[in-house]
């Protein structure tokens, strides 16, 4: 079973590496990449705690809706754990 996650719809100030076009979108964990210093702290020379980084795979239709060129094309992006929330309930729209 593949873990489904939703990217949090946050709009924090400062340097973040979660693209706006993926916020609020639902995908599945493709692989875990290990822990890395949080770039949101590193960008300002602050001590950075290690955060788990995950590769999340999205279906294009789940990002762009009807505007997707091909609904089943995919997009993978690296997202830090604190930007993700697990989706525990089956929402019924899984492929």
The correct pick among 1, 47, 65, 70 for binding other proteins (CB under 8 A) is: 70
The pair of structure tokens assigned to 34 is 């290990």
Q: Is 57 exposed, middle or buried (0-12, 13-18, 19+ CB in 10 A)?
A: middle
Residues 6+ apart with CB under 8 A from 70: 60
The correct pick among 78, 81, 82, 87 for binding other proteins (CB under 8 A) is: 78
Of 4 and 64, which CB lies nearer to other proteins in the complex structure? 64
In the shown chain, the binding pattern of residues 12 to 41 toward other proteins, with x for contact by CB under 8 A and - for none, equals -----xxx-x-----------x--x--x--
The correct pick among 24, 76, 86, 94 for binding other proteins (CB under 8 A) is: 76
DSSP 24-55: T-EEEEEEEEEEEE-HHHHTTT----EEEEEE
Q: Which residues bind other proteins (CB under 8 A)?
A: 17-19, 21, 33, 36, 39, 53, 55, 63-64, 67, 69-70, 72-80
């Amino acid at each position: 079973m593949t873990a489904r996650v939703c990217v949090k719809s946050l709009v924090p100030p400062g340097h973040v590496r979660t693209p706006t076009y993926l916020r609020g979108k639902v995908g599945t964990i493709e692989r875990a990449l290990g822990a890395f210093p949080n770039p949101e702290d590193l960008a300002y020379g602050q001590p950075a705690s290690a955060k788990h980084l995950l590769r999340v795979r999205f279906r294009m239709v789940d990002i762009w809706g009807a505007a997707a060129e091909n609904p089943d094309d995919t997009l993978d992006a690296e997202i830090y754990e604190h930007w993700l929330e697990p989706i525990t309930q089956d929402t019924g729209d899984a492929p």
